[in-house]
Amino acid sequence: MVALIILLCIALFIALLLSFKACVTVEYSDEVRLSVTVLGFMKINLLPRRKKKVRLSKYSRRAVERRRRKEAKKAAEKQAKKRQKKQQKAEKKKLSPEEKRALKEGKPTLIDNVDMVVSIVKMFFTKFFRHLKIKVARLHIVIGTGDAAETAVIYGAVCQAVNPLVYLLEKYTNINKLEDADIAIYPDFLAESTKVDVKISFSLRVWHLFDIGLGALKRFIGTRIKASRRAAKKRALEELEAERRAQRTSTKNK
């Protein structure tokens, strides 16, 4: 009974974790601001980056020696990997044609890999944009060029472009109703330049990301299984052909 309760609690926790949203918010007025909100309350500001504080402890003799040892260790590991790759290439060159063919059997061909990548990309875009939710919180555009006539022309062109764009976004993307958004586009015949104030959020549930990852893994494993089955079928046909040759040879000898 206790084990069942523990399993139910774990399942409930995983379901709750997968139901949370990951939200990316982009803002632009005088500078670009980018933030990520995870689990509904953990907000991480990515842009603008905070200036790193200079810590004197990083430049102590012990810290400098520690960094040098780490860099030397990384360089040694890199050289070891290079030597290992060269050794593997040299060993492959020494293999006989039969051994090389045996190594290649069971591995996906270039066509298989291309088909797999194409299917994963199609699946990603289909599922990603189906689940992705876009919320336009604010879109303010003040059009100004320093010339009243040019400002009027650009303002008219922008207004004509916005309506069909809004229609396409609402029809083909999972976007919140733009009628409720704070959208304002107007001209300023005295302004010397155009000003933009935008705030847009993109959100996706953790479960949807997990679903996309599972779909990609499924296609990858399917490609591997397909290649291994093809190799097994080829080996079986070769063995059958070898048995037939042996039978024909024994019949002729008799």
- Bridge partners of 139, per DSSP, are 183, 198
pLDDT of residue 8: 79
pLDDT of residue 187: 92
Q: How many residues does the chain have?
A: 254
Identify the band that residue 13 occupies on the pLDDT scale cut at 50, 70 and 90.
confident
Instruction: Return the SS3 of 158.
Output: helix
Model pLDDT for residues 74-132, shown as the tens digit of each residue = 888 888 888 888 887 777 666 666 655 655 555 666 677 777 778 877 877 777 777 88
Question: To which H or E segment does residue 137 belong?
Answer: strand 133-143
Task: Please give the mean pLDDT across all residues of the chain.
Answer: 79
Model pLDDT for residues 106-120, shown as the tens digit of each residue = 566 667 777 777 887
- Is residue 143 a contact partner of residue 186, using CB atoms and an 8 Å limit? yes
